[in-house]
Structure 1
Amino acid sequence: MHPEDFRAGDFGHGRNWPIGYQDLEPFYRAAERELGVAADVDEQREAVGLPFPAGYRYPTRAIPRTHLDTVIAGALDGRRVRERPGAAPTTLRVVTTPHARNGRPHQEPGPDGGPRPAAEDAVCRGHASCVPICPSGAKYTPLRTQARWASSVTLLTRAVVSRLRLDASGRVTGVEYLRHPADGSAAGSVPRTAEADLVVLAAHAIENAKLLLLSGAAGGSGQVGRNLMDHPVLLTWGLMPGQVGPYRGPGSTSGLEGFRFGPARARRAPFRIEIGNWGWTWALGPPDGRVAELLRTGGPDGRGLFGRELRRAAGDRIGREFAFQFEMEQDADPANRVTLDPAVRDPLGIPRPVLHYDLSDWVKRGIAAAKAVSDQLFALLGAEDRTGFAPGPGWPGRFEHEGRAYAYRAAGHGAGTHIMGDSPRTSVVDQWQRCWDHPNLYAVGCGSMPGVATSNPSLTMAALALRSAGRIHQDLLARHRPVPLRGPAALEGADHS
Structure 2
Amino acid sequence: MLPEDFDTEAFGYGRRWPLTYDALEPYYRAAERELGVAADAAEQREHAGLPLADDYVFPMRPLPASYLDRVLAERLDGRRVKDPVALSEAALRVVGTPHARNGIPNSAYEHGRGYVPRGAHGRPDPANRCVGNASCIPHCPSYAKYTPLKTQGRWSDSVRLRDRAVVSRVLVDGSGRATGVEYLSHDGTVAVAHADVVVLAAHAVENARLLLLSGLANRSDQVGRNLMDHPVLLTWSLLPHAVGPYRGPGSTSGFESFRAGPGRRVRAPFRIEIGNWGWAWSKGAVDGDVAQLISEQGLLGAELRRAVGDRISRQFTLQFEMEQSADPANRVTLHPHARDPLGLPRPLVTYDLDDHVKEGMVAARAVSDQIFALLGAEDHTDFTPPAAWPGRFDHDGRTYGYRGAGHAAGTHIMGDSPTASVVDSWQRCWDHPGLYAVGCGSMPSVATANPTLTMAALALRSAEGIEAELAARDRPAPLTSHTAHTPRTPRPPGGAPA
Classify the TM-score, shorter chain: over 0.9
Equivalence for 1:237: 236
CA contact (8 A) 2:106 2:114 kept: no
Q: What is the rounded CA distance, in whole Å, between the counterparts of 1:99 and 1:270 in structure 2?
A: 21
Q: Given the alignment, which residue of 408, 411, 414 partners 2:408?
A: 414
Write the deviation string for residues 184-230 of structure 1: whole angstroms up to 9, x where unpaired: xxxxx242110111100000000000010011100111100000000
Q: Which residue of 1 aligns with 2:20?
A: 20
Residue pair 2:117, 2:128 contacting (<8 A) in 1 also: no
Question: Equivalent residue for 1:494?
Answer: none
Q: Secondary structure at the match of 2:264?
A: helix
Find the residue that maps to 1:89 and give its secondary structure. Answer: strand
Residues 389-426 of structure 1 show CA distances to partners (whole Å, capped at 9, x for unaligned) of 12421001011123321010110000000001011111
How far, CA to CA, are the matches of 2:86 and 2:166 in structure 1? 55
Q: Would the aligned equivalents of 2:410 and 2:442 in 1 still touch at CA under 8 Å?
A: yes
Match status 1:337 vs 2:337: no
Separation of aligned partners in 2, 1:474 and 1:438: 18
How far residue 48 of structure 1 moved from its aligned partner, in angstroms, is 1.1
- Which residue number in structure 2 is paired with residue 495 of structure 1? none
Separation (CA, whole Å) in 1 of partners of 2:125 and 2:387: 45
> What residue number does 1:301 align with?
none
Identity percentage of aligned residues: 65
The answer to whether the aligner puts 1:372 opposite 2:366 as a matched pair is: yes
Distance 1:86 1:103 in 2: 38
* Deviation sequence 1:251-303 (CA, Å, 0-9, x none): 100000000000000000000000000010101101121112222233xxxxx
AA partner of residue 470 (structure 1) = E
How big is the shift at 1:67?
0.4
Q: Which amino acid counterpart does residue 134 of structure 2 have in structure 1?
A: A
2:102 corresponds in structure 1 to 102
Is the Cα–Cα contact under 8 Å of residues 180 and 348 in structure 1 kept in the other structure? no
Q: Compare 92-101 and 106-115 and name the one that shifted more.
A: 106-115
Matched residue, 2:142 = 136
Shift of 1:109: 4.0
Q: Is the Cα–Cα contact under 8 Å of residues 161 and 175 in structure 1 kept in the other structure?
A: yes
Structure 2 residue aligned with 1:198:
197
Tell me how far apart the structure 2 counterparts of residues 447 and 50 of structure 1 sit (CA, whole Å).
Answer: 24
Distance in 1 between the 2:143 and 2:176 partners? 44
**2:110 matches 1:116:** no
1:256 lines up with 2:255 in the alignment: yes
Contact 2:116–2:126 (8 Å) recurs in 1: no
Is the radius of gyration larger for structure 1 or structure 2?
Answer: 1
Q: Distance in 2 between matches of 1:391 and 1:128?
A: 28
**Structure 2 CA distance, aligned partners of 1:167 and 1:85?**
53
Q: Distance in 2 between matches of 1:86 and 1:371?
A: 13
Instruction: Tell me the residue number matched to 1:81.
Output: 81
Aligned 1:48-447 pairs, distance under 5 A: 48-84=48-84, 87-111=87-111, 113-117=114-118, 118-181=124-187, 189-298=188-297, 304-447=298-441
Deviation of 1:7 after TM superposition, in Å, equals 1.0
Distance 2:82 2:30 in 1: 38
Amino acid at match of 2:79: R
Conserved 8 A contact 1:34-1:115: no
Q: Is the 8 A contact 2:270 2:360 kept in 1?
A: yes
Is 1:476 equivalent to 2:470 in the alignment? yes
What is the CA–CA distance in structure 2 between the aligned matches of 1:311 and 1:133, rounded to whole Å? 28
Structure 2 Cα separation of the partners of residues 221 and 426 of structure 1: 5
Q: 1:452 corresponds to which residue?
A: 446
Amino acid paired to 1:286: A
Q: Distance in 2 between matches of 1:410 and 1:354?
A: 16
TM superposition shift of 1:130: 1.3
Structure 2, unmatched stretches of 5+, are 119-123, 486-498
Distance in 2 (CA, whole Å) between partners of 1:425 and 1:483 is 35
Query: What code does the residue aligned with 1:207 have?
Result: E
Measured after TM superposition, the shift of residue 476 of structure 1 is 1.3
Counterpart position of 2:121? none
> How far does the alpha carbon of each residue in 1:333-363 deviate from its partner, in whole angstroms, 9 at most, with x for none?
0000000014211111111100000000000
| Change in 2 beyond 3 A, CA 1:305/1:207 | same
- Structure 2 CA distance for aligned equivalents of residues 313 and 437 of structure 1: 63
Number of paired residues? 477
Partner secondary structure for residue 337 of structure 2: strand
What is the TM-score of this pair, normalised by structure 2?
A: 0.93
2:495 matched residue in structure 1? none
- Find the aligned partners of 1:86 and 1:430 in 2 and give their Cα distance: 34
Q: What TM-score do you get using the length of structure 1 for normalisation?
A: 0.93
Q: How far apart, in 2, do the equivalents of 1:106 and 1:339 lie? A: 46
Q: Any unmatched runs of 5+ in structure 1?
A: 182-188, 299-303, 492-497
Rounded to whole Å, the distance in 1 between the matches of 2:108 and 2:377 is: 43
Give the Cα–Cα distance (whole angstroms) in 2 for the partners of residues 348 and 486 of structure 1.
54
2:107, 2:115 within 8 Å by CA — same for their partners in 1?
no
Measured in 1, the distance between the counterparts of 2:219 and 2:86 equals 46
